[in-house]
Amino acid sequence: MADGGSSLFSGFRVLGLYSNHVPHALRYHLKHREFYVVTAAGRSFHTFNVNRLGIVAVSNCMSNDITCLAADRMLVFAASGRLVSAFARNKEVVMRYHGHQQDVRLLLPLGDQLISSDSDIYLRLHFDPNTFYVSAMMHPSTYLNKVLLGSSQGALQLWNIKTSKLLFTFKGWLAGVTVLQQSPAVDVVGVGTATGRIIIHNIRLDETLMSFMQDWGPVTSLAFRTDGPPVVASSSPQGHIAFWDLERRQLVTQQRHAHRTAVAAATFLQGEPLLVTNGADNAIKVWIFDQEGGGARLLRSRQGHSAPPTTIRHHGNDGKNILSAGQDGTLQSFSTVHERFNKNLGHGGKEQKKKKGLTYKELCLPAIISFSSAVARQSDWDGIVACHRGRQATTTWNYQRCTMGAHHLQPPGGHVTSCLRSQAVDITSCGNFAVIGSSCGRVDIYNLQSGLHRGCYGDEEKAHSSVVRGVATDTLNQLTLTAGFDWLLKFWRFKTKKQEEQLKLSSAPASMMLHRDSGMLALALDDFTVVVVDIETRRIVRKFAGHHGNINDMVGLRPPHPSSCQRFLVSLLDSRCLRRPKDR
């Protein structure tokens, strides 16, 4: 009860969260002979094995969000605000380091020492941060007790941390330093700048060996291959990665859209043709270099939504899989059992052939605003139907193939108008039909096997006089229920499409959810109340008030089998004035 509330409903597990904008840390375990990647996720960090990208451990939470990570062979170091913590066994805090007056931005383990940097570090050494503001640091290989610092003003400085003496100042290249990276060659480092320029520099001779220029903005990370080919990888804020040949001094290949957002960090595994990347798009990816011409392909990944999820639903009745649609436009499935069962159904594409000049975003469909799924016939045809923001046609998706389906469902050509936008959808329990409500008041029914239009509800082909906010069908395909912005809840015969009754609501409905097992229909209204309707008696049986904002979503209890635990949950709901589901 950390916040003073009940611990009965405390969080158990986070699904679909893998990484944020903080660069990852890579470590090698001598005993296991395996590489591990550590990524920040809010106030804790996650540890994954690179071999399978399976989660190994989740650290204890810190007081604030983690701002930077570092690791050596024994410990993981995480900075949170002004505090730096050392974690053993990827979980437990064994030491805390205090003393910073500003937020820690950089960490560098150096033997038995840890170097941490904040915005005030050079004030202690009597340097003006307006002339040298630390933006990157690294330990040059074989340079005992030496640290190379890069500044946002462009200059570099080599310091002896044991004697606290400045050994040498490099003038720089008239651009802020964003990255410093040791190359496989002693005395040679890679320097990434805010202008996109990449410099390979010999710090012993103070001589620039070569330079490259990426066209995608500042360099966010640099990585050198150590398994043979002389290649350096540079990443960008646009999510692209470029690979440069150091012998021929030219671009070898590029990996566009490696991430949907800026690449936070890229690291080659020691002695292996593998590159590990992470980004703010909530993704960790491992790339392998086994293609002709030096190109990379995605070997394995763990990725969730890169933008907040908007709608989640259980897929099936066993509670093992959760379908989720997000503002990033993707549809994903998260397993509550193990992450290896997660699926990414992807980002839907428009019904047009790819044309030259069209960008990736122009070819993608808008975000999904509502969807429905059924498992009854998903082995035979598409079992998911989704409505997209501002779009007429609804799309079908295939859960087993993890792809967009074959059909784009919309009324026949003569009935399509400019004001028609798909708003709500429901799939029948048998998995054969999809009922879709639109912004102009239409409610249409389609066959999912063929994608053909099978009629609509209402006189003059309109079920409501305004926007349809929700549609639902009962367990036996006897009733279809529709709710519209005209404050009406209507009951229709599913087969004949004739209206039987309608119920006037106290406010316009925002959304609705039918609990098929009990025959209870919940409607969230625009006046921030929830009403429960019994679809058999067609009366409002409960009304809940108390919300002070829009109700985003609702869910009904769906126990697969009777048990003492489920009976307890039902009685708990009864104590809050919810009706007990009928025994059927």
At a CB cut-off of 8 Å and minimum separation 6, what does 29 contact?
35, 36, 73
Instruction: Give residue-wise pLDDT tens across range 212-251.
Output: 999 999 999 999 999 989 999 999 999 999 999 999 999 9
At a CB cut-off of 8 Å and minimum separation 6, what does 108 contact?
70, 114, 115, 116, 117, 137, 138, 139, 147
Beta strands in 457-560 (DSSP E): 468-473, 479-484, 488-493, 499-504, 509-515, 520-525, 530-534, 539-544
What's the pLDDT score for residue 221?
97
Question: β-strands 274-279, 283-288: how paired?
Answer: antiparallel
What's the pLDDT score for residue 558?
57
What's the pLDDT score for residue 266?
97
- pLDDT at position 126 over 70: no
What's the pLDDT score for residue 571?
30
Instruction: Give residue-wise pLDDT tens across range 60-92.
Output: 888 899 999 999 988 999 999 999 999 998 888
Q: What is the mean pLDDT of residues 256-268?
A: 94
What's the pLDDT score for residue 296?
93
Tokens 């009406």 locate to 488
Average pLDDT over the chain, rounded to an integer: 87
- pLDDT bin (cut points 50, 70, 90) of residue 6 is low
SS (H, E, C) 149-187: EEECCCCEEEEECCCCEEEEEECCCCCCEEEEEECCCCC
What's the pLDDT score for residue 440?
92
What's the pLDDT score for residue 11?
67
- pLDDT bin (cut points 50, 70, 90) of residue 12 is low
Per-residue burial over 180-217, b if 16 or more Cβ lie within 10 Å, else e, is: bbbbeeebbbbbbbbbbbbbbbebeeeeeeeebebebe
Out of 257-261, 360-364, 417-421, pick the least confident.
360-364
Closest CA to 537 of 491, 497, 580, 573: 491
Amino acid present at 470? G
- pLDDT at position 388 over 50: yes
Per-residue burial over 376-403, b if 16 or more Cβ lie within 10 Å, else e, is: ebbeebbbbbbbbbebbbbbbbbbeeee
What's the pLDDT score for residue 346?
85
- pLDDT bin (cut points 50, 70, 90) of residue 305 is very high
At a CB cut-off of 8 Å and minimum separation 6, what does 355 contact?
none
- How many CB atoms neighbour CB 418 within 10 A? 7
- pLDDT bin (cut points 50, 70, 90) of residue 164 is confident
Instruction: Give residue-wise pLDDT tens across range 417-444.
Output: 777 899 999 999 999 999 999 999 999 9
- Measured CA to CA in angstroms, residue 208 lies from 176, 201, 235, 252, 454 at distances of 16, 4, 21, 21, 71
- pLDDT bin (cut points 50, 70, 90) of residue 468 is very high
- pLDDT at position 583 over 60: no
What's the pLDDT score for residue 9?
62
- pLDDT at position 371 over 60: yes
- pLDDT at position 582 over 50: no
55 forms bridges with which residues in the sheet? 48
What's the pLDDT score for residue 559?
53
Helix (H, G, I), strand (E, B) or coil at 440: coil
Instruction: Give residue-wise pLDDT tens across range 502-543.
Output: 999 999 999 999 999 899 999 999 999 999 999 999 999 999
Q: What is the mean pLDDT of residues 339-358?
A: 71
- pLDDT at position 584 over 60: no
DSSP symbol at 461: G
User: What are the structure tokens assigned to 311, written together?
Assistant: 């709608």
- pLDDT at position 124 over 60: no
> Are residues 198 and 244 in contact, defined by beta-carbon separation less than 8 angstroms?
yes
Q: How far apart are CA 182 and CA 214, in angstroms?
A: 19
- Measured CA to CA in angstroms, residue 137 lies from 9, 131, 273 at distances of 44, 16, 26
232 forms bridges with which residues in the sheet? 224, 244
- How many CB atoms neighbour CB 123 within 10 A? 13
- pLDDT at position 497 over 60: yes
